[in-house]
Amino acid sequence: MKPPKRLQSLIEEGLVGEVVSQLMSGKEATVYVVRCGNKIRCAKVYKEAAKRSFKQAVTYQEGRKVRNSRRARAMEKGSKFGRKEQEDTWQNAEVDALYRLANAGVRVPAPYGCFDGVLLMELVTDGEGQVAPRLNDVSMSADRARADHAEIMNSIKLMLCAGLIHGDLSEFNVLVGDNGSVIIDLPQAVDAAANNSAEAMLTRDVQNMSNYYGMFAPDILETKYGKEIWALYEGGELNPDTKLTGQFTEDLQAADVDSVVLEIQAAYAEEQERLARMQEAE
């Protein structure tokens, strides 16, 4: 097929030999099957910000650090240079997440680099060597649903252990590969420790996946993996070997407001005494 304009420069540079076909077009990018030497890979061509239906919401960008202060100022001002830097940061976030998660044992497509808004990565295939289907195109038995759901919950746990939350996880960005489920589409991945919406995003990711698998095995809908995983994470007890149960008991004990108020009053009094001593010493 005729190569898209954004892929032409990669062909000229020898990074891509041939564009075989268009694989899919989504809210943020169009993906093509390409030939790189004797390897078949895929190329994710990011759409320009104005043409994307998935906006770079402030919620997702919270906590992302830009080391270069000039770039950070330009991004805050929204200049032409700043908008380009923002786009580069958005795209590079996916590459960084792919490497980080692969190292953490999460099944994601292997990345091969991002060049001028085009991400080259592994083409995930099924057991017959064909392009792997997305989860939303697959039907399954109740037992298979329970097993696959447990696998995805473990992947979400491993992602959080690596400090990341997908933030937009659903049956539309999970591929069913020959070696199990493969998580894709990560430019919006958030830093769990630096984003104030991290817990809500993790809970939503878990709920989305549970709702899908729950169509085949309704008992999955009764699980509470989101709350369990987050509670373990907050308590510093989550690690890659943590065994998840899907069970969680809510702490319904009413907060002791009087004790909290007394502690605040005591701290305030102590601060006033400290300030008074400082004044006396002057």
For residue range 225-256, what is the model confidence (pLDDT) as tens digits? 999 999 999 999 999 999 999 999 877 665 56
Residue (of 45, 5, 43, 42) closest to 28 by Cα position? 45
CATH at 9: 1.10.510.10
Residues 27, 57: Cα–Cα separation, whole Å? 14
In a domain, 253, yes or no: no
Using the predicted structure, report yes or no on whether residue 196 has a pLDDT greater than 60.
yes
- Judge whether 136 lies within some domain: yes
Q: How much is the average pLDDT of 88-99?
A: 82
Rounded mean pLDDT, 83-91: 62
Domain total for the chain?
1
Pairing of strands 164-165, 190-191: antiparallel
Answer yes or no: is 273 within a domain: no
Residue 261: predicted pLDDT: 76
Which residues form the domain of 102?
5-234
**Residues whose CB falls within 8 Å of the CB of residue 239, separated by 6 or more in sequence, listed in order:** 161
Please indicate, yes or no, if residue 165 is contained in any of the structural domains. Answer: yes
- Is residue 240, in this structure, part of any structural domain at all? no
Domain contains 248: no
Task: Judge whether 162 lies within some domain.
Answer: yes
Mean pLDDT of 191-198: 93
The answer as to whether 201 is a domain residue is: yes
First to last CA, the chain: 81
Q: What is the pTM of this model?
A: 0.77
pLDDT at 281: 66
Q: How far apart are CA 80 and CA 93, in angstroms?
A: 20
